[in-house]
Amino acid sequence: MISQYWIDQIPARPIVIDIKDSSGAAANLAGYTTITPYLINERNQEVDITGYSLDISQRATGRILFTFPQGRSVFEDPGDYLLQIELKTVSNNTTTNLDFTTAHRIVVKALGGVNR
């Protein structure tokens, strides 16, 4: 799945991420203690997404809803961005499981083809 946004856009609607297991069935994420999103820009640099919202109320069926920070845009440059979710289980301050979702591609364009 690919999402498209524009430079300076502040998306209000969440991105729905359905995580599947290796057989294509909905993955049960209830066993993970930490679920953290990361956004990487065209230059392979992590983008500050402080203020994001993550709805994990449907994690037993593998569904996560990611909402970008409100009040500011994270899209400063055109190009391909990647959104990936880190799934971690921590017990007694030790990471026992660490998994990552397939990256969700986000294409960011400049309106009219002009870089701002």
At 9-60, the pLDDT tens digits run 999 999 999 999 889 999 999 999 999 999 999 999 999 999 999 999 999 9
Q: To the nearest 10°, the Cα dihedral for 63, 60, 53, 18?
A: -10
The chain-wide mean pLDDT, for the chain, equals: 92
The amino acid present at 65, given as its one-letter code, is L
Residue 111 predicted with pLDDT over 80: no
User: The domain 2-111: what is its CATH number?
Assistant: 2.60.40.3350
pTM higher than 0.75: yes
Q: To 5 degrees, how large is the angle CA 114–CA 41–CA 102?
A: 130
Contact 112, 91 (CB under 8 A): no
Q: Which residue has the tokens 């440059």?
A: 77
Residue 13, pLDDT score: 94
Domain ranges of the chain: 2-111
